Chain A
């Protein structure tokens, strides 16, 4: 296997590959340039068609794919000395699946947006940004080297910035957008340094070469220990983009953007870029058990941490946001315990059910005239039957109730965790319970009980138009049956695992035993039972609390116990960061300017000037204007000169 040739190069015309990202880009250009001259429906239609075109092309490549990865060369981008960064695409199992996911879910969300953004005055701009996002995301997953990946990586960050701050009249939204961009940039710095180190170690940034050399143990001037540094640096990037501890705080704030954006960018696709990147580099991560440990623990802790915050949130989108952070933590947990396939599996199922739930939430918000607080909702299932049903499917899926998709992927992750580390398994199980609880809390508070909003809102309640409900239905079907892509180990390996297996060939070759001995069926049934039990238990608790006992979340101002208060205020992490990083930076900025710049640097320069001035004044004072003084000085001068002369100086 080590002699496997570097990836085959596609020799035909690259047009059909170029078009995949190019179509959304054209959509971006058309919508961007004709901004206000197109009606909302036309603008939405153009961009949806562009994404649909990419989806169909991706599907075509997927069908034609023979199982041998290959690269498509477009042009040489940067080339300096031995550093060559070509603009290449790589087509393999991973990129194809991600392509289908991004364009498929992306298309549905585009269609949904036509209805959702109907009333907005800047709808053309919205679709332009959305298309730009799809373009960047496609570059991200298609790139054949780390730098192209980085292009997409930053590109999606930019789109996220633009779309979070889409309603730019509100300072809070703009701040959220800026925060997202900046925190992502912190991660990007780690990523960038990782790329530099990769180049120094492997003398290339192309996936094919890097992975081949890594598997063959050629670490340039370094030993295998360098891989730990590389992977940790890359993981910092993933922490930023995929909202893991400690860089997760931007994601809940990012809910300021329009809801389809939250669904597409902040649930289904962009935030999974970190997972994509780790999967892509799986051989490097496999070579470094230490990093894997870090990844697993950070993932597990994030999952639990975000889930506890989710318990006490009252904003429908914030709950979903924390749930996303939590589920992303799950995926990293899976990566950390080397359940690579199950992680990607969860990426897919999560994309289905979380996009579904966000769009459902959008439908609710749409019906409630932009109300997002679940304390003011309730009993909506009669007014919004389709939204309710699809949302229910989403909740069942995320709670891990069989046979919905989330059950399969979550169970697989928990099984892997169980094999590796019982504590992490415990954390995962607890998170599963909490997830079921807060998701059904959300469901019950929103759709059950009495309506608690204003009369006006009640009057306005309506089911959303077909452009919005159709995507919901499609996503609901996917969320319901998507799990069968990769049925659990008991029933033999699933389709997905077989399909993806070549991707992990290097990893398997370097560390075969880590891919897990088969565990016996009894244990496996027990694990399935436990995870289902956790989900069911969570639902039951939520039902008792919010349906039977009709508990309503307290108002913002009401008194809370210590723990409850801590959770309600999200552990004060934002405040902590503010005190630790933002304020000192601001202080430093002012201090440097007012003190160092003015009093030291500039004062130094001005000091030289003043010194010259002072010196000239000092010497100038000898020029009294009195002839006597001049003469006296002259005589003294002559005497001195003569004296020196006589003394033979």
Chain B
């Protein structure tokens, strides 16, 4: 039931938002997201010891005659992502407080709808429920970006939307096929996750189904070369939408692959794994190289995110315990870091009116707090040991290395290029000779610190004691590995 409550609460709050106007809307939205966080933490403490089994299950016969149930529940892996979502959404809301959006009640209602959709994706245990929430998460972001975005918002958002929907429909086709196959042996058809896990398809079938379903995930993550919606969308969307997209939404693709793809069609995975590894590693290097010369901070972060996600995909497809655990921990780390980076880019843009790196410089002298938080989050992103990025990248690279040493070595270049583009940005924005802004820029305000301090704490928490989280996901990941290697 707790899972259902986690799903319903944001929706209820979003509906309530309809009745309030102006700044009360954001206060209500923020309060609601805090309650959601408390619920998620409560759920974490209520977890029984076995993290590999779904907890707080709800199995409501939705379309009972067709074998489609509204089946939701959380195991360790879901729990971590639900926690991540519940942790990031209040911060994202708080970060958006500094802006005056038109129609705030609609804006914040959409964010809460989106939260519900995201959590739904992470807790769904039925393919059609999963698909439903997958789309539910997409629609609010379309409006957020399309209505409150930058100048080119309509064109960019439409491209993003169509791109994603094409992928989703292919995924739906894959699910429908699997659904029909569950009835192939004469048993009643079912779209339940466990029914999918019990399927016994031929390699040929699996490889086609894999392509269909992976299309949706690969676009969402995104995997090179399906990423071209990403930099534009990140740059054009309003800051909270960008944070939602990069911080949580792209984890949907990775989570989906872990939960709905690898264990369902393991033979299909092994058919395509070589190609995907190569594409992912190309993405790592490609994103990093392009990031070096970006002038727009948000675009730079977008390409850096492409590079980091490439590494996550590669680690995940190494199909080793190290790689999968690395992916899980890196999902959390990347969520924290990328949200922090986009927030800082937004702060700087608000203060100076520009995101263009060459126009900035020498900001550090007036802004010690901003410099420190920026540096910490940046170091987390460059994977310095004892920050969150290191644990993930270390495990991911080890996974890729175990898959193939040469790929590991090439993917490892990310630690060099990552340092190049991020330090370059830091130097040109924060350090160097004074620019016209360095005297007038204000340091962080209390509300901004309230967003950044939890992020900084997480940077070190995950970096120093990754065990807290890996311990939660390990049984679930091991169970997935058993299914993958069956």
Tell whether any CB of A sits under 8 Å from a CB of B in the complex: yes
Contact for B362 among A32, A80, A81, A169, CB less than 8 A: A169
Segment with Cβ contacts to B, from A275-283, A387-395, A587-595: A587-595
Whether a CB of chain B sits under 8 angstroms from the CB of A150 is yes
Residues 463-512 of A at the B interface (beta carbon under 8 Å) = none
Tell me the B230-257 residues at the A interface (CB within 8 Å): none
Report chain B residues within 8 Å CB of A78: 391, 394-395, 466-467, 470
Cβ contacts under 8 Å, A255 to chain B? none
With A169-B433, A602-B228 as known contacts, state yes or no: A188 contacts B163, CB within 8 Å.
no
Beta-carbon contact of A589 and B292 below 8 Å? yes
- Interface membership of B275, Cβ < 8 A: no
**CB within 8 Å for A605 and B467 given contacts A154-B385, A185-B415, A192-B412:** no
**B360 within 8 A of partner (CB):** no
* A461 contacts chain B at the CB level, 8 A cutoff: no
Question: Which of A83, A158, A185, A601 interacts with B416 by CB under 8 Å?
Answer: A185
Q: Does B408 contact A (CB under 8 A)?
A: yes
With A185-B419, A605-B228 as given contacts, are A196 and B289 in contact (CB-CB < 8 Å)?
no
Contact B470 A178 (CB under 8 A): no
Interface stretch of the complex, out of B4-12, B53-61, B129-137, B424-432: B424-432
A611 at the interface (CB under 8 A from B): no
User: Across the interface, do B225 and A601 meet the contact criterion of CB distance under 8 Å?
Assistant: yes
Q: Once the chains are docked, how many angstroms separate the CA of A161 from the CA of B378?
A: 14
A80-B325, A178-B424 known; A158+B470 contact, CB < 8 A = no
Flag if B408 contacts A193 (CB, 8 Å): yes
Residue numbers in A under 8 Å from B412 (CB-CB): 189, 192-193
How many Å from the CB of B401 to the closest CB on chain A? 4
Whether B394 and A147, one on each chain, are in contact in the complex, defined by CB atoms closer than 8 angstroms, is: yes
- Interchain pairs with CB closer than 8 A, number: 138
A302 contacts chain B at the CB level, 8 A cutoff: no
Question: Across the interface, which residues of A come within 8 angstroms of B372, CB to CB?
Answer: 32
Near A by CB (< 8 A), chain B positions 171-204 give: none
Complex Cα gap A168–B375 (Å): 14
Q: Assuming A182-B419, A189-B415, is B292 touching A586 (CB within 8 A)? A: yes
B384 within 8 A of A: yes
B220 in the interface, Cβ–Cβ < 8 Å? no
Question: Least Cβ distance of B294 to chain A in Å?
Answer: 8
Q: Looking at chain B's contact residues, is the secondary structure mostly helix, strand, loop, or mixed? A: helix
With an 8 A cutoff between CB atoms, is B409 at the interface? yes
Q: Is the CB of B292 within 8 A of A585?
A: yes
Which residues of chain A are near B225, meaning CB under 8 Å?
600-601, 604
Asked whether any CB of chain B lies closer than 8 Å to the CB of A645, the reply is: no
A80, B416: Cβ atoms closer than 8 Å: no
Interface centre among B159, B291, B385, B434 (most CB of A within 10 A): B385
Q: How far is the CA of A147 from the CA of B227 in the complex (A)?
A: 34
For residue A473, give the distance in angstroms from its CB to the closest CB of chain B.
Answer: 37
> By the criterion CB–CB under 8 Å, are B292 and A169 in contact?
no
Residues of B within 8 Å of A83, CB to CB, are 322, 398
The answer, yes or no, to whether A597 is at the interface (CB within 8 Å) is: yes
A581 to chain B, nearest CB (A): 10
Our pick among A182, A185, A592, A604 for the contact of B286 (Cβ within 8 Å) is A592
- B384 in contact with A154 (CB, 8 Å): yes
Please give me the residue from chain B that is nearest to A83 by CB atom.
B322
| B contact residues around A150 at 8 Å (CB) | 385
CA distance A441 to B391 in the complex (A): 49
Centre residue among A80, A147, A189, A197 by max chain B CB count within 10 A: A80
Known: A78-B470, A169-B362, A609-B162. A196 touches B416 (CB 8 A): no
CB pair B409–A193 under 8 Å, yes or no, is yes
* Residues from chain B with Cβ under 8 Å of A199 in the complex: 398
> Chain B residue with minimal CB distance to A32?
B372
CA distance A79 to B472 in the complex (A): 12
A186 interface residue per 8 A CB criterion: yes
Rounded to whole angstroms, the CA-CA distance of A602 and B159 in the bound complex is: 11
**Chain B residues, Cβ within 8 Å of A457:** none
Residues of B within 8 A of A189 (CB): 409, 412-413, 415-416
Determine how close the nearest CB of chain A comes to the CB of B335; give it in whole angstroms. Answer: 19
Chain B residues with CB under 8 Å of A181's CB are: 419, 423
Residues in chain A near residue B416, CB distance under 8 A: 182, 185-186, 189
Contact B474 A80 (CB under 8 A): yes
Q: Is B368 an interface residue (CB 8 A)?
A: yes
Known contacts A79-B470, A165-B427, A168-B431; 7 further A-B pairs (Cβ under 8 A): A36-B368, A78-B391, A83-B322, A154-B390, A158-B379, A601-B227, A609-B159
Residues of A within 8 A of B (CB): 32, 35-36, 75-81, 83, 147, 150-151, 154-155, 158, 161, 165, 168-171, 174-175, 178, 181-182, 185-186, 188-189, 192-193, 196-197, 199-200, 585-586, 588-590, 592-593, 596-597, 600-602, 604-606, 609
13 contacts between A and B (CB under 8 A): A81-B325, A158-B384, A169-B432, A170-B432, A170-B433, A178-B420, A182-B419, A186-B416, A189-B413, A189-B416, A589-B291, A602-B228, A605-B159
